[in-house]
Amino acid sequence: MATYIAKRLIQGLVVLLGVSMICFIIFRYMGDPVLTMAGKYATFQEREEVRRALGLDKPTYVQYARFIWNAAHGNFGKSYISRVPALGLILERFPATFELATTATLLAFLMGVGLGVLVALKPRAWQNRLIMAGSLGGISMPTFLIGILLIMIFAVYAGVLPPFGRGQTVTIGFWRTGLLTVDGWKHLIMPAVTLATFQLAVLLRLTRAGMREVLTEDYIKTAWAKGLPPLKVIFKHALRNVLIPVVTVAGLQFGEVIAYSIVTETIFQWPGMGNLILTSIFESDQPVVVTYIMLAAFMIISINTIVDILYAILNPKIRYA
């Protein structure tokens, strides 16, 4: 096990190096931060001076080596746009994204599994066919459309939910949370639903497929024959076995939801990392974007590793040598 974890860590480091290198190369073609930083009326010489001050006159590999050296010391550079440390800028936005992603994942998991079971029990009932058709919509409808539709219906026409932002927040230490106020929850509903839709549909279909398979197995028939109460048969005997792959997928998706909530956050002006990153890309704020991508890669790698390790613990038959 120890060798396995060590191996995974080394692999993770290699991936991070690769990701950061690709970022650096792409950034050569993503605009010139010097133009903004020197000001509209700067002369050619003034621009060159700013370029030198930022170290952007050096070849890419020198810039990259310096970035890696500094990053290894915990310094990810200063944002070109706000001129404060990039890592701090991103971490400041982390609570908002984390709360949104967690709520969305929980929502998707509970609804997805619940509906999946329901549908599997009576696959031919018309309500259930409707749910399945809806899930197809959930998979195929783009996030921004769902978001804008929700805003139109619930904020503009009905006027029951606020269209943007986090609402009233409470600060506990460094963590600014919206989960402790009614206003905060009101603001959370629409973005969470928007972000959850895709996952919900995936988990629903996964649960349904698994349940339908398991429900035909002999041990379930035995359980029915023994006269066990239906809830016990369905949840204890059938669902439990279906849940292992569902939990895995939900876990893996969690990392992605954190990293890719860009669209949802932009539509709802949710003050999270995704929102920051989109702005930073438009402004060619290289330090922030590179730091964010490395952070996202780090998160996804860690979640994958943890899931792998959990697998071995949950199912002793799986061995990593």
Partner 1 sequence: MKKYILRSLICLCATVVVFGTGLVPAASSASSLVVAVDTPPRMMNPQGDDSDAGLSYMANFFDGLLQRKGPEGKLAPALAVRWEHPDKLSWKFYLRKGVKFSNGNPFTAADVKFTFERLSNPEVSEFLNTGKTIASIKIIGDYTVVIKTKVPIPWFANNMHQIFIMDKESTESRKPGDVMTRPIGTGAYKLVEWVKGSYIRMTANENYWEGAPSIKNIEVRPIKEPSTRFAALVSGQADIVTGVPVALYAKIKSNPKLQVISRPARRCIFLALGNKTGAPWADLRVRKAMYMAINEKEIIQKIMRGHASPSSQVPDPPTIGYNPDIHRLAYDPAMAKKLLKEAGYAKGFDITLTGPNDRYVQDAQIAEAVARYLAKVGIRVKLDVKPKAIFFPEVTGGKLDFYLIGWFDGTFDMGRTYFKIAHTRDHAHGYGGLNGAAYSNAELDRALEATADIINPEKRRQALMKLNKMAMVDQIVWIPLHYQEDLYAMQKGKGIHFTPRPDRWMVYKEISR
**Residues that bind partner 1 in the complex, under the rule CB under 8 A:** 29-32, 35-47, 49-50, 53, 81-85, 89, 92-93, 96, 148, 151-152, 155-156, 159, 162-170, 176, 180-184, 266-272, 275-276, 279, 282-284
Closest distance of CB 140 from partner 1, Å: 22
- How would you classify residue 74: left for phi > 0, otherwise alpha for psi between -120 and 50, otherwise beta? left
Closest distance of CB 292 from partner 1, Å: 14
Closest distance of CB 38 from partner 1, Å: 6
Separation CA 196–CA 199 (nearest Å): 5
Using the minimum distance from each CB to partner 1, give the nearer residue, 77 or 271.
271
Closest distance of CB 66 from partner 1, Å: 17
Tell me the one-letter amino acid at 26.
I
String of DSSP letters for 171-204 = EETTEEESTTSHHHHHHHHHHHHHHHHHHHHHHH
Separation CA 272–CA 92 (nearest Å): 8
Residues in the chain: 321
Using the minimum distance from each CB to partner 1, give the nearer residue, 18 or 88.
88
Closest distance of CB 35 from partner 1, Å: 6
What residues are paired with 170 via a beta bridge? 177
- The answer for residues whose C-beta is within 8 angstroms of residue 42's C-beta and 6 or more apart is 50
240-259 vs 286-314: helix crossing angle, rounded to 10: 170
Closest distance of CB 117 from partner 1, Å: 26
Residue found under tokens 């349940």: 211
Using the minimum distance from each CB to partner 1, give the nearer residue, 187 or 208.
187
CA dihedral of residues 197, 198, 203, 206 (deg, nearest 10): 140
Using the minimum distance from each CB to partner 1, give the nearer residue, 109 or 270.
270
For residue 52, give both structure tokens.
């030198």
Q: Write the CA distances from 137 to 108, 111, 157, 165, 176, integer angstroms.
A: 15, 16, 23, 27, 34
Using the minimum distance from each CB to partner 1, give the nearer residue, 160 or 244.
160
Using the minimum distance from each CB to partner 1, give the nearer residue, 43 or 140.
43
Closest distance of CB 181 from partner 1, Å: 3
Q: What is the DSSP letter of 154?
A: I
Using the minimum distance from each CB to partner 1, give the nearer residue, 39 or 114.
39
Closest distance of CB 106 from partner 1, Å: 16
Using the minimum distance from each CB to partner 1, give the nearer residue, 156 or 231.
156
Closest distance of CB 195 from partner 1, Å: 15
Using the minimum distance from each CB to partner 1, give the nearer residue, 284 or 305.
284
What residues are paired with 78 via a beta bridge? 85
Separation CA 212–CA 132 (nearest Å): 14
Give the Cβ contact number of residue 288 at 10 Å: 27
